[in-house]
């Protein structure tokens, strides 16, 4: 029996819904369209998702008949439409669930209708029969022999050779480091400290929620418009999952309104594509609500870290043993690589001769863990940098001096057995400490406040496959302006600005002449692996330089032939070709398209100048599966130090950040202002996760899925003063020696704040966040 308009408003809203109820026939028939949908035409359709209300259950039956009977509904998709799996490093999920659901919010079905409201109403009419299964809500519980197995087919999943899943368990990756002999080293240690640290799940909360529009034309060509950090990876993953050639899938990605990792890889974008396949010719728009944004896309993984560390009385660290238990969520396509990256970085930026580390990626029935700014490094440094402070206290050494004595330097042998490249970490420590008057007691602003100082150091490498590549092209226009094609995405970090600077500097033309081709479009843009890992300045930058050098070579060879001179004597400066030998000169205008005439009217030489370039590191080696040892585990590390000066109100527990000095070795600052902006932004985001943020679950269901209950830092919470400090020790393979800085600046903030709080109060917080409530209660206990 068809559903009437009056009946719709009586149907309960589904999980993740905050779309307004239908209250007009106009909305039922879909005659009204939103203004921002007009570019896609009047044929635009809208999608909404039926999501699991259970953390773990079998799907016994799905009945879509009532939803299909609703006027305005065009189609419904289910897991029957997505038989293949999808995933970046581990293909462990279906686009729509088949057989079982694994977290609250897992997509079970999708409804396509003539308006978002009708689609929303129809989701309430899809009837799903579940068999409830016992959930796994703690990673250590997930590792127990009698724990429910969330992925029984783990052993059959497609996975690269550097990820080590354990079939028949909930462990989707186990990464090991075995360097030296830890157990024998303990006897040589004069001081040993052991502790456990916890980090909650955190949400990215971008200002722009996830949104995608997909369309399939009559020839089967798919176009996906989406806010994405990874248009090429999205194209590849979606094409593979649907059994299509990558040439049949086009992804167009305009500017991203905030990403921080949540728009890397594929989350909801594939849902829109599958829905569009049901209604060829119609664009289908899928937009997540803010509530859905909190728990149906990637979240930062939770972590339990157990660390034991020992040193001699003269301050030399001898041994470190660590276990990481990652609460990676229902699917770990990204989480397995976070587990790997944190495993080989588990010592922090210290040279330690004896290391034993186990990093476990564990399936749980929580939301899906994925990339988040820092890619696991903020989580592990939370424990590393606090236990370093505790060890320094135990031997009675100044904490800055202790770090200087043990931090990595050029030639240090790191945890994987690799030799450290040139690095400016000691300078970072010294400069950050000096900026907050380290070692000097300074008075608090009121008698009821206590002042403290703390520091933390960090390292982070681009966590990526060994063959992640970049490409670029450089094309001259008639007036000698230059269009640069890249595949890296602008997400507010300044990629397009730096790309233009590099192209201009290499070509020898003014910066103002450069135009970056956009939006990123996989049909026309050159290939880029992903906009992740703080790698674009380095990797894509190398490709841009190569492309610009190729174009420059063509121009100079043409001019040399025209003037009958050697190329070595020619240069391009400020858009003019000049000869140092003959002092000839000519503008680039027109000749870069039309070429130059031969003598005596005998024709022309040259033609349109287009340069091409690519870059892929060829020197990253594999690591031994049992020991984690290898010649070169990563391309490079960016290092840095943050020093914090703060006050704590002993009446309320409120923390006030007075100063954060942040020094980072970026190799070479291509754009110093943007580097400083990244350092400042990272310090604020790091402070937000330190003092406020944490997802709160009750039986697998997120309780704080709005900004009412999920607190993030605002302008009133930022430090009174942020002191960005740039250190430059060139990277051997970076353009002009540059390394990335986008993620690194938030890595040490939380432990630096924790160390400063401990200095002020004598109270340590081992479980993030460091809320005023925790400090208030601890102060009450202390009193």
How far is 170 from 144, CA to CA, in rounded Å?
9
**Which pTM does this prediction carry?**
0.95
- The mean per-residue pLDDT over the stretch 443-464 comes to 98
Q: What is the pLDDT of residue 263?
A: 97
Strand order in the sheet with 211-216: 73-78, 107-113, 45-51, 284-287, 211-216, 222-226, 249-253, 520-521
pLDDT tens string 764-776: 999 999 999 999 9
* Sign of the Cα pseudo-torsion (511, 513, 519, 523, in order): negative
For residue range 223-258, what is the model confidence (pLDDT) as tens digits?
999 999 999 999 999 999 999 999 999 999 999 999
Closest by CA to 115, choosing from 65, 159, 74, 54, is 74
Please state the φ and ψ torsions of residue 35, each to the nearest 5 degrees.
-60, -35
User: Which range has the worst mean pLDDT, 30-34, 90-94, 724-728?
Assistant: 30-34
Helix, strand or coil for residue 500? Answer: helix
Q: How confident is the model at residue 210 (pLDDT cuts 50, 70, 90)?
A: very high
Percent of the chain with pLDDT over 70: 95
Q: Please state the rounded mean pLDDT for residues 270-278.
A: 98
Are the C-beta atoms of 357 and 309 separated by less than 8 Å? Answer: no
User: Per-residue pLDDT for 329 more than 70?
Assistant: yes
pLDDT grade for 21, boundaries at 50, 70 and 90: very low
pLDDT of residue 8: 42
| Contact in structure between 283 and 276 (CB atoms under 8 Å) | yes
Each residue of 543-575: pLDDT tens digit? 999 999 999 999 999 999 999 999 999 999 999
Q: Is the pLDDT score of 214 beyond 80?
A: yes
The band of 14, judged by pLDDT with boundaries at 50, 70 and 90, is: low
**Binning pLDDT at 50, 70 and 90, where does residue 467 land?**
very high
pLDDT digits (tens, 9 = 90+) for 411-431: 999 999 999 999 999 999 999
Of 1-5, 227-231, 342-346, 495-499, the least confident: 1-5
Helix (H, G, I), strand (E, B) or coil at 321: strand
**According to DSSP H, which parts of 124-162 are helical?**
139-142
SS3 at position 559: helix
Whole-number pLDDT of residue 249: 98
| Confidence band for 783, pLDDT divided at 50, 70 and 90 | confident
Model pLDDT for residues 120-148, shown as the tens digit of each residue = 999 999 999 999 999 999 999 999 999 99
Task: Read off the tokens for 207.
Answer: 């200002």
Q: What is the CA radius of gyration of the chain?
A: 28
- What gap in Å lies between CA 135 and CA 513, rounded to an integer? 58
- 408's CB contacts (< 8 A; 6+ apart) are 349, 350, 351, 414, 420, 423, 425, 459, 637, 639
Look up residue 104 and give its two tokens.
Answer: 């609250």
Per-residue pLDDT, averaged over 591-599, amounts to 97
In this prediction, residue 4 carries a pLDDT of 44
CA distance 268 to 85: 14
| Contact call for residues 165 and 155 (beta carbons, < 8 A) | yes
Express as a percent the part of the chain with pLDDT over 90.
94
Closest CA to 584 of 574, 576, 593: 576
Strands 697-698 and 701-702: antiparallel
Residue 685 CA to residue 689 CA, distance in Å, equals: 6
How many Å apart are CA 112 and CA 120, to the nearest integer?
A: 9
Distance of CA 428 to the CA centre of its chain: 24
Largest CA distance in the chain: 97
DSSP lists the bridge partners of residue 486 as 472
Q: What is the mean pLDDT of residues 354-363?
A: 98
Nearest Cα residue to 91 out of 303, 241, 310: 241
Q: State how far the Cα of 117 lies from the Cα of 130, in Å rounded to an integer.
A: 26
pLDDT digits (tens, 9 = 90+) for 487-527: 999 999 999 999 999 999 999 999 999 999 999 999 999 99
């Amino acid at each position: 029996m068809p559903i009437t308009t009056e009946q719709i408003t009586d149907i309960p809203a589904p999980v993740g819904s905050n779309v307004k109820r239908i209250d007009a026939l106009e909305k039922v028939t879909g005659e009204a369209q939103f203004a921002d949908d007009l570019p896609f035409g009047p044929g635009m359709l809208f999608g909404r998702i039926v999501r699991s209300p259970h953390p773990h259950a079998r799907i016994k039956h799905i009945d879509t008949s009532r939803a299909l009977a609703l006027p305005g509904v065009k189609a419904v998709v289910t897991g029957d439409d997505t038989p293949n799996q999808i995933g970046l490093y581990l293909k462990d999920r279906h686009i729509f669930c088949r057989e079982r659901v694994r977290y609250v919010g897992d997509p079970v079905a999708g409804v396509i209708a003539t308006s978002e409201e009708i689609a929303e109403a129809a989701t309430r009419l899809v009837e799903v029969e579940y068999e409830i299964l016992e959930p796994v809500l703690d990673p250590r519980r997930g590792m127990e022999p009698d724990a429910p197995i969330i992925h029984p087919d783990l052993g059959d999943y497609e996975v690269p050779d550097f990820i080590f899943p354990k079939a028949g368990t909930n462990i989707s990756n186990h990464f090991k480091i075995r360097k030296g002999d830890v157990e024998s080293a303990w006897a040589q240690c004069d001081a040993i400290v052991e502790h456990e640290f916890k980090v909650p799940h955190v949400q990215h909360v971008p200002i722009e929620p996830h949104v995608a529009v997909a369309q399939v034309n009559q020839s089967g060509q798919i176009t996906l418009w989406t806010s994405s950090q990874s248009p090429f990876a999205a194209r590849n993953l979606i094409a593979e999952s649907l059994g299509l050639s990558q040439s049949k899938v086009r992804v167009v990605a305009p500017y991203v309104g905030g990403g921080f990792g949540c728009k890397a890889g594929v989350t909801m974008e594939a849902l829109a594509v599958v829905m569009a396949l049901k209604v060829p010719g119609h664009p289908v728009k899928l937009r997540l609500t803010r509530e859905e944004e909190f728990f149906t896309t990637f979240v930062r993984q939770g972590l339990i870290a157990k660390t034991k560390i020992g040193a001699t009385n003269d301050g030399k660290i001898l041994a470190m043993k660590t276990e990481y238990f990652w609460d990676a969520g229902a699917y770990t396509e990204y989480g397995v690589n976070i587990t790997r990256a944190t495993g080989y970085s588990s010592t922090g930026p210290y040279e330690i001769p004896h290391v034993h580390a186990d990093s476990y990626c564990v399936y749980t029935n929580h939301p899906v863990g994925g990339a988040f700014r820092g890619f696991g490094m903020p989580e592990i440094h939370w424990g590393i940098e606090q236990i370093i402070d505790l060890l320094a206290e135990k031997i009675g050494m100044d904490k800055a001096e202790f770090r200087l004595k043990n931090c990595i330097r050029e030639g240090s042998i790191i945890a994987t057995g690799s030799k450290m490249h040139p690095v400016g970490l000691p300078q970072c420590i010294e400069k950050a400490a000096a900026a907050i008057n380290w070692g000097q007691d300074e008075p608090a602003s009121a008698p009821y406040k206590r002042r403290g100082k703390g520091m933390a150091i960090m390292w982070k490498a681009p966590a990526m496959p060994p063959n992640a590549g970049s490409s670029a092209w450089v094309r001259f226009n008639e007036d000698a302006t230059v269009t640069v094609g890249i595949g890296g995405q602008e997400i507010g970090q300044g990629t397009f600005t730096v790309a233009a600077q590099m192209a201009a500097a290499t070509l020898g033309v003014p910066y103002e002449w450069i135009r970056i081709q956009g939006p990123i479009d996989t049909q026309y843009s050159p290939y880029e692996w992903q906009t992740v890992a703080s790698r674009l300045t380095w990797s894509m930058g190398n490709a841009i330089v190569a492309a610009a050098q190729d174009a420059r070579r063509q121009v100079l060879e043409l001019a040399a032939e025209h003037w009958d001179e050697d190329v070595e004597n020619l240069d391009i400066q400020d858009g003019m070709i000049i000869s140092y030998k003959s002092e000839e000169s000519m503008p680039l205008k027109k000749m870069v398209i039309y070429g130059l005439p031969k003598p005596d009217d005998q024709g022309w030489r040259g033609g349109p100048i287009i340069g091409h370039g690519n870059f892929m590191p060829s020197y990253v080696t594999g690591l031994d599966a049992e020991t984690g040892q290898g010649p070169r585990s990563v391309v490079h590390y960016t290092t840095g130090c943050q020093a914090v000066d703060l006050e704590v109100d002993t009446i309320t527990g409120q923390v006030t950040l007075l100063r954060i000095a942040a020094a980072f070795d970026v190799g070479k600052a291509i754009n110093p202002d943007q580097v400083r902006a990244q350092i400042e932004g990272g310090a604020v985001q790091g402070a937000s996760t330190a003092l406020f943020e944490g997802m709160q679950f009750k039986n697998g269901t997120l309780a704080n899925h709005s900004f009412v209950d999920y607190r993030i830092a605002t302008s009133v919470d930022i430090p009174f003063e942020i002191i960005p400090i740039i250190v430059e020790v060139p990277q051997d393979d970076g353009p002009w020696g540059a390394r990335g800085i986008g993620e690194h600046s938030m890595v040490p903030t939380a432990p630096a704040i924790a160390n400063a709080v401990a200095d002020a109060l004598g109270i340590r917080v081992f479980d993030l966040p460091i809320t005023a409530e925790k400090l208030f209660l601890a102060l009450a206990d202390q009193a």
